[in-house]
A and B are shown apart, each in its own frame.
Chain A
Amino acid sequence: MAQEASSSTSSKTISLKTGDGEIFEIEASAAKQMKTVQRLIDDLGDDITIPLHNVFSKELPKIIEYYKKDITGEITKDFEAEFVKDLNDDEVKVLFLAANYLDANKLFEFLSQNIADRLESKSVEYVRKYFGVENDFTPEEESKLREERAWSFRGIKEDE
Chain B
Amino acid sequence: MATPTTNMKKMNKKVSSNYIPDHLSFSILSKLPVKSLKRFSCVHKSWSRLTQNPNFINIFRNNLISNSHPLYRGDGDVSLVLNQFLGSYDWNIYLISGKNFEKKVKLDLPLPFHLPQLGVIPIRVVDSAINGILCIYDYEGVHTTTVLWNPATEEKIVIPPGHAEFKSEFMTQICPHGFGYDRVGDDYKIIQHVNYYTIDDENHLLHLEDVMPDPFWEIYSLRSNSWRKIDFDMPVIYSIFNSAVYFNGMCHWLGEANTLLVSFKLCNEAYFITPLPLEDTQHDDDFEVNLTMLNESVAIITNWKNTTSFQISILGEFGVKESWIRLFNVELLSSIQGLIGAGEKGNIFFRREDGELVCFDLTTGLIEEIGIKGESYWCQMAIYKKNIHLIGDIGN
The yes or no verdict on A and B being binding partners is: yes
List the interface of chain A (C-beta within 8 A of B).
54, 93, 96-97, 100-101, 103, 108-109, 112-113, 115-117, 119-121, 124, 127-137, 142, 145-146, 148-149, 151-153, 156
List the interface of chain B (C-beta within 8 A of A).
1, 3-4, 13-14, 16-20, 24-25, 27-29, 31-33, 35-36, 38-45, 47-48, 317, 319-320, 322-323
Contact among B13, B24, B319 for A97, CB-based, below 8 A? B24
Contact A121 B36 (CB under 8 A): yes
CA distance A82 to B1 in the complex (A): 28
Contact B43 A100 (CB under 8 A): no
Cβ distance A89 to chain B, nearest Cβ, rounded Å: 11
Please name all residues of chain B whose beta carbon is closer than 8 Å to the beta carbon of A112 when the two chains form the complex.
27-28, 31
7 A-B contact pairs sorted by A residue (CB < 8 Å) = A96-B28, A97-B4, A130-B18, A131-B20, A149-B322, A151-B317, A152-B39
Please name all residues of chain B whose beta carbon is closer than 8 Å to the beta carbon of A133 when the two chains form the complex.
13-14, 19, 43-44, 47
Contacts A124-B39, A131-B20; A151 near B320 (Cβ below 8 A) = yes
Question: Between A and B, how many residue pairs show CB distances below 8 Å?
Answer: 98
Contacts A112-B31, A119-B32, A146-B42; A134 near B14 (Cβ below 8 A) = yes
Q: Do most interface residues of chain A lie in helix, strand or loop, or is the interface mixed?
A: helix
Contact A100 B322 (CB under 8 A): no
Contact A132 B44 (CB under 8 A): no
CA distance A54 to B2 in the complex (A): 12
Contact A115 B28 (CB under 8 A): yes
Contact among B1, B13, B18, B39 for A100, CB-based, below 8 A? B1
Cβ distance A35 to chain B, nearest Cβ, rounded Å: 9
Other than the given A93-B18, A133-B43, 17 more pairs (CB < 8 A) read: A96-B28, A97-B4, A100-B1, A103-B1, A124-B43, A130-B20, A131-B25, A131-B43, A133-B14, A133-B19, A134-B13, A137-B45, A146-B42, A149-B42, A151-B35, A151-B323, A152-B36
Cβ distance A155 to chain B, nearest Cβ, rounded Å: 9
Contact B43 A135 (CB under 8 A): yes
Contact A54 B16 (CB under 8 A): no
Please name all residues of chain B whose beta carbon is closer than 8 Å to the beta carbon of A153 when the two chains form the complex.
39
Contacts A130-B18, A133-B13; A116 near B28 (Cβ below 8 A) = yes
CA distance A117 to B29 in the complex (A): 10
Tell me the nearest residue of chain A to B14, going by C-beta. Answer: A134
CA distance A137 to B47 in the complex (A): 11
Contacts A108-B27, A130-B18, A151-B323; A119 near B317 (Cβ below 8 A) = no
CA distance A128 to B13 in the complex (A): 11
Contact among A120, A131, A137, A156 for B32, CB-based, below 8 A? A120
Contact A152 B38 (CB under 8 A): yes
Please name all residues of chain A whose beta carbon is closer than 8 Å to the beta carbon of B317 when the two chains form the complex.
151-152
Contact A156 B18 (CB under 8 A): no
Contact A132 B20 (CB under 8 A): yes
Contacts A124-B39, A133-B14, A152-B36; A113 near B31 (Cβ below 8 A) = yes
Contact B42 A142 (CB under 8 A): yes
Among A100, A134, A136, A152, residue most surrounded by chain B Cβ atoms (within 10 Å): A152
Please name all residues of chain A whose beta carbon is closer than 8 Å to the beta carbon of B28 when the two chains form the complex.
96, 112, 115-116, 119
Cβ distance A129 to chain B, nearest Cβ, rounded Å: 7
Tell me the nearest residue of chain A to B44, going by C-beta. Answer: A133
Contact among B20, B32, B38, B48 for A93, CB-based, below 8 A? B20
Contact B31 A101 (CB under 8 A): no
CA distance A121 to B4 in the complex (A): 26
Contact B36 A119 (CB under 8 A): yes
